[in-house]
Structure 1
């Protein structure tokens, strides 16, 4: 029968208008989980709602929040690429001291060079705990480390060669009294702005989390 034409109802014989079938409607996600839903949606709208629920959170500017494995990879790439860092130390009384230093990431430790008579060297001799930072708040890597070894640059030919190849200068050629300090990471954090403060740890107690 053509659309819009009447036909008799099988029970009372009255004419009934034939209408096209209504679009199938499905409940929103909240209703499906047992919570009252404010409205219903078509299948297409429901699919879009589910996509929004499972879409990764995004940083300002549209980039997605990174997972731990991605943050680790980015942190390692940054340490291998950028060799200028901030190094903070403290004396036994807890008075802090911070300097900018060149650093070589050898795959396990950070190797830094400074004068043996400097305040940084004296602090590390008394208190081996240190904190390292690189980058800006929009892309930061922060490291808690322990100084595990120190030696004069003249007595460390292999170390000096690796350091010079990485950072572009050799402390053996800039004067006497320079020393290498090997810093072993204990905790590494990687974050891009305040949105990534949560989940910023990629290493805890010297163990990678991914």
Structure 2
């Protein structure tokens, strides 16, 4: 997007966010441990229309933080085209994860974490808040979801 392009309406921002959730493969996952030590990693993901599904080893820092903290902040894009998603996290073992979530994950990423060993878990992130903006000119109106409900 060029700097001189018009500011997007909230409805367009929401459409853009949903399109990106369906198209993009990687998402930044931010978490923190009990002492507040942050962790930031990119993970593959799939959006099912209501939640974002991630997979990583249950015992690595991100897996432990997501499982024990129950919250995360996810980010798409670069600094000029930002999407931030704050959400709650539910953890599923390889044998507990809904089949539809695994199938969608495999179709999108080409990888089935269950075949990489029992150490992998799935994490369902239900959005509570979504923000989207292109640079400073779109900071106003960036909140598209609050308290788990789309405001646009």
Q: Does TM, normalized by the shorter one, top 0.5?
A: yes
The match for 1:163 among 105, 108, 121 is: 105
CA distance in 1 between partners of 2:61 and 2:139 (Å): 32
CA distance in 2 between partners of 1:209 and 1:96 (Å): 29
TM-score by length of 1: 0.68
Deviating above 4 A after TM superposition, structure 1's stretches of 4 or more consecutive aligned residues are none
- Is 1:81 the counterpart of 2:30 in the alignment? no
The match for 1:152 among 83, 89, 93 is: 93
* Paired position in structure 1 for 2:128: 186
* Paired position in structure 1 for 2:11: 69
Question: 3-state DSSP class of the match of 2:54?
Answer: strand
Higher relative contact order (CA 8 A, sep 6+): 2
Aligned residues: 151
RMSD value over aligned CA atoms? 1.5
* Paired position in structure 2 for 1:20: none
Gaps of 5+ in 2: none
Does the 8 Å CA contact 1:88/1:130 hold for their aligned counterparts? yes
* Paired position in structure 2 for 1:116: 58
Question: Which has more radius of gyration?
Answer: 1
Cα offsets for 1:66-100 (capped at 9, x unmatched): 11111000000011100201000011222211111
- Is 1:173 the counterpart of 2:142 in the alignment? no
CA distance in 2 between partners of 1:116 and 1:60 (Å): 41
**How much has 1:150 moved relative to structure 2?**
1.4
Q: 1:176 to 1:198 in 2, by over 3 A?
A: same
